[in-house]
Amino acid sequence: MSNIFSPQDILRIAIRVERNGEELYRVLEEKEKNEKLRNIWKYLKEQELLHQKTFQEMLDKVGDYIVYEFSPGEYSAYMKAIASSYILTQGLIEKKTKELFENSLEAIEFGIYVEKESILTYTAFREYVLAQKQPVLERIIEEEKRHLVRLSLLREEFKKGA
C-alpha cells in the first residue's frame, strides 16, 4: 500500500478489520466458558460479518459512495496517520486471535481497544463518503459505539467480580 490512502484503500482496510474482528470474536466465543460473555462474543462476531458485507458493497459500488474532490494536504495526512495506526491494530488482532488472552477481562479490554480504533477510523473516513450515503457509515459508527458501551459495562462487571 502506498503512503497515500485512497478511499478504496480505506474500504479495503475496513473489510480486513471486520474480517479480523469476526475471526477474533469467533475464537473468543468458542473458548469462552462464561455464557453471558460467550453470547456477547457471538453477537459481536455477527455484527462484524454484517459490517464487512456493508463495506464490501461500498467498495463494489465505490462511485456511488465516495467523494473524490476533497482537499489534499492536512486531511489526507490525518487519514494516513489513522489508517497506518489501524493497520498496526490489525496485526495485534491477528496475533491475539492466535495467542488469545490470559483471562476474560483482558479479552474485554482488547475488545474495547478495537472498538475505539474502529470508531476513530470510520469517523475519519466519513469525510470521503457522499453526504447522501453517509447514513450507511453512520449506522456502523453508532453500532461500534454501542459495542464499546456494552464492553465497557461488561468490564465493570468483571472488575467487580460478577
Identify which of 111, 124, 58 has the alpha carbon closest to the alpha carbon of residue 85. Answer: 124
pLDDT grade, residue 162 (50/70/90)? low
pLDDT digit string (tens) for 114-135?
A: 889 888 888 888 877 888 888 9
pLDDT grade, residue 74 (50/70/90)? low
Question: What are residue 129's DSSP bridge partners?
Answer: 66
| Residues 110/95, Cβ–Cβ less than 8 Å | no
| Residues 152/112, Cβ–Cβ less than 8 Å | yes
pLDDT at res. 3? 47
Give the HSE-up count for residue 34: Cα atoms under 13 Å, Cβ half-sphere.
15
* Structural domains of the chain, with CATH: 7-159 (1.20.1260.10)
pLDDT digit string (tens) for 79-121?
A: 666 666 766 677 777 787 778 788 889 999 989 988 898 888 8
- Report how far residue 46's alpha carbon sits from residue 3's, in angstroms, rounded to the nearest whole number: 32
| Residues 155/112, Cβ–Cβ less than 8 Å | yes
**Residue 61 DSSP code:** T
pLDDT digit string (tens) for 13-46?
A: 788 888 888 988 999 999 888 898 999 999 999 9
The predicted model gives 45-50 an average pLDDT of 94
Write out the three cell numbers for 157.
Answer: 462487571
